[in-house]
A and B are shown apart, each in its own frame.
Chain A
């Protein structure tokens, strides 16, 4: 088949460019590369182009055909020739000059000057850790100062955000992912200022950093807000934990096994006899169930907080774990949510407390108000003294 091509030719001596036309007879399965080979061999030996693998693997034969970038070894000429079209072949462009320096990418941060032999491309600090090579010197790099300034700028933006530096509140802690604001489409002038600065420096990566940097000038407030959000997330009702932490109040008709001794009426219940006392006192106070905690408190013992209140879940440690008598003496009053059930606490015999108050000191029972007592882990020794 007869193939026509128009090729942009360049004369290196005079600098002239000209579009030259060629026409050659080529086999039907010929690719553009085959046609160029035929032209070079048989018509114009000065035609120069790169080629290597001829199986669309290496990329050497990239050129433009009618402006579109193609691999010459891949482009079949049959249809083009049949249609009578003579495509314009030109070079891809001078890739060498447009190739940017890879110095910011390379490990040593230097330009294409060869690194000191034997260094295997490590950073200067890592290289110092090894044996220093006697022959080569670590010559200062011309772009080194600019890179250093760039790193400083990045650190500053990371620390202070885009606005001018202001003294930070005492106690503020360092950057935290929780400080990030959700992204908005238009950040406004501040964002544009940073983008301009980044573009001037020629480092567009800084634009990408913005998402990762903390926003705003008040890290402390942001940290507090973040903590609050996290705590709320943590304290949200959860299925599994809820079942364990919440105080399950036993109704009259709860059919629990009597042998477990879970309910006050059951024979095995460790505090079975005390319950009636407290109920009596409460009834005496005439306020029903709500008075029970008041009565307990009045006794001077909040009771062993065997079952942790729901709101304290997860924050026990934060609050300061006040063990022993301290907790008993001044239990923290927690604001309870709406509809929360009245708290029932494990009760200790009032007599014990009175005696304790008199004797002043531990009666040898260890902690009466064991904050760590969990259901089923009650102290096994009954308190002394009679009912």
Chain B
């Protein structure tokens, strides 16, 4: 065994680092495993901001935040977890600020809050448009200050389950090569979402759903896998994100005729409606032929150069480098792209999954606070709040239990599997399978879903999984074998895609991000107000359902 820790955190984004910090402060010995350097995690690409009901901008309260989140989730979120999130959010923001996060301020000197999609009052705390970057740096500094051990560039591959407990994880050492085993009394999965399933996504190359797939293969259920949020404003073809903060500052979405088409779909909130509403509106306009080259336009010209340069400098640079337009003078061509995965490993409000000793936090988990659709700014808040809760719960459990036992058989099996993968000398290269997966998912399981397309996609994924069995890794070396890790990631993505498709076909309604306008255009609360639970059995997923926890807000019609 390479090392043994009380708490092992897999993934060093906002959620992972916050969990590690809290577990350390609770007295546990923590080890963080990450396949990237912590500050390169995709949490750093978050731009818009982090939500909390501070009340600096206007009258606001945690109850109002709760209601907005519940409504935004299309009433699929578990309302007790949402209440916890909204109640503890202000305290977490202040703690981040005390740790040195330089948030933007308003004229009174208090934390500035900008309006975001589907929020009743402005509550998104931001730091220009690099909020994620600021949070990552702050959390990394706190991690370094506590001198927590970080195992950088270790690719987590398999969870070790023994005696009905998660005993640790087997990793591939990227720098030096070889399988390394880490024992941990508790393990926290904070590996992020699976945006890379789609060709047009805002996610980094690293967002391949590793933790979710590892948990799935270890027999742990996943929740609400069919809900993938499509962010309205992404560039083409790269899928690079133009933050919702632009719309928060007042940008307009216009079609080929120059009209603000959102007034047809969400007359009250306009561009600041919920993200699924805006994505659907854009996709409708594009499908009707009112787009330009398959995109609609995000117009910031009326904001003025000064406001763009002070408040949205990153977005401006991205538009200039990747779209070739200067938003001060020209509108930016945008279209929907896969952005956030609302589903994940099923956990409770303390991050505990079904398996003892395994916790999950962040985008990899599904508590569920986002339900069928997430509000902008809530994700960063979820990573901090539930990262903290999972860290504390894991540390407290670990300190009450003493032994870690990684069986030898687990290591031997893993080595055998790896040898099989590496020994194949000829076969298909992974990139073909990956490209086909990305293109077909975007085509058949995108913003709008139809029965026959989803069934076709299920077949395609079956075929791809067959082809994956003969995929061959060209690099047989030890040092920095990214060919091997990319092949393993492809396997994860294929498993997750089949789960998503199965849950999506079975959900015969339109709710939140799962939109079936041709066959089931409305929401069906009687039959489908429940979470889809996916388990892995044999070599295919198995679907069941779990109820939604409703406390205060009964489902009503959702209009913006």
Q: Is the CB of B480 within 8 A of A121?
A: no
Report the bound CA distance from A133 to B475 in whole Å. 48
Give the segment of A38-46, A142-150, A192-200, A278-286 that binds chain B.
Answer: A38-46
* Given A53-B44, A55-B322, A42 contacting B147 (CB threshold 8 A): no
What residues on A are CB-neighbors of B130 within 8 Å? Answer: 57
* Given A41-B429, A41-B431, A114-B29, A58 contacting B147 (CB threshold 8 A): no
Q: Is the CB of B474 within 8 A of A53?
A: no
* Given A106-B144, A121-B147, A58 contacting B474 (CB threshold 8 A): no
Report the bound CA distance from A60 to B36 in whole Å. 9
What residues on B are CB-neighbors of A74 within 8 Å? Answer: 321
Report the bound CA distance from A40 to B27 in whole Å. 45
Report the bound CA distance from A120 to B21 in whole Å. 8
Closest to B7 in A: A117
Least CB distance from B327 to A in Å reads: 16
Main DSSP-derived SS at the A contact region: loop
Q: For chain A, residues 47 to 83, give those with C-beta under 8 angstroms from any C-beta of chain B.
A: 48-60, 74, 76
Report the bound CA distance from A108 to B318 in whole Å. 40
* Given A12-B478, A46-B475, A48-B479, A58 contacting B204 (CB threshold 8 A): yes
Least CB distance from B390 to A in Å reads: 17
A370 within 8 A of B: no
Report the bound CA distance from A114 to B143 in whole Å. 11
Closest to B487 in A: A45
* Given A55-B318, A58-B204, A120 contacting B473 (CB threshold 8 A): no
Q: Is the CB of A54 within 8 A of B25?
A: no
Q: Is the CB of B147 within 8 A of A115?
A: yes
* Given A42-B431, A118-B24, A57 contacting B44 (CB threshold 8 A): yes
User: Contact string, A88-111, partner B, CB cutoff 8 A, digits 1/0?
Assistant: 000000000000001000111010
B112 within 8 A of A: no
A13 within 8 A of B: yes
Report the bound CA distance from A112 to B144 in whole Å. 9
Least CB distance from B532 to A in Å reads: 30
Closest to B47 in A: A57
Interchain CB contact (< 8 A) of B147 among A13, A41, A112: A112
Closest to A41 in B: B431
**Chain B interface residue bracket vs A:** 35 or more
What residues on B are CB-neighbors of A53 within 8 Å? Answer: 40, 42, 44-45, 204-205
A274 within 8 A of B: no
Closest to A74 in B: B321
What residues on A are CB-neighbors of B238 within 8 Å? Answer: 54-55
Interchain CB contact (< 8 A) of A60 among B40, B430, B431, B474: B40
Interchain CB contact (< 8 A) of B40 among A44, A59, A102: A59
B483 within 8 A of A: yes
Report the bound CA distance from A54 to B40 in whole Å. 11
Report the bound CA distance from A59 to B478 in whole Å. 24
Q: Is the CB of A46 within 8 A of B147?
A: no
Q: Is the CB of A58 within 8 A of B480?
A: no
What residues on A are CB-neighbors of B240 within 8 Å? Answer: 54-55
* Given A41-B431, A52-B36, A58-B40, A106 contacting B145 (CB threshold 8 A): yes
Least CB distance from A73 to B in Å reads: 9
Q: Is the CB of A102 within 8 A of B479?
A: no
Closest to A107 in B: B145
Report the bound CA distance from A29 to B481 in whole Å. 28
Report the bound CA distance from A42 to B474 in whole Å. 10
* Given A12-B477, A45-B474, A45-B483, A52 contacting B28 (CB threshold 8 A): no
Report the bound CA distance from A106 to B167 in whole Å. 32
Q: Is the CB of B133 within 8 A of A57?
A: yes
* Given A12-B478, A48-B479, A53-B44, A118 contacting B26 (CB threshold 8 A): yes
Q: For chain B, residues 22 to 79, give those with C-beta under 8 angstroms from any C-beta of chain A.
A: 24-30, 36-37, 39-42, 44-45
Closest to B324 in A: A29
B206 within 8 A of A: yes
Q: Is the CB of A48 within 8 A of B480?
A: yes
Q: Which 8 A-B pairs have the closest CB atoms?
A: A45-B474, A118-B27, A41-B431, A12-B479, A121-B145, A48-B480, A58-B40, A121-B146
Interface pairs (11), CB distance under 8 Å: A46-B474, A48-B483, A52-B41, A56-B321, A58-B41, A60-B36, A114-B29, A114-B148, A117-B6, A118-B27, A120-B25
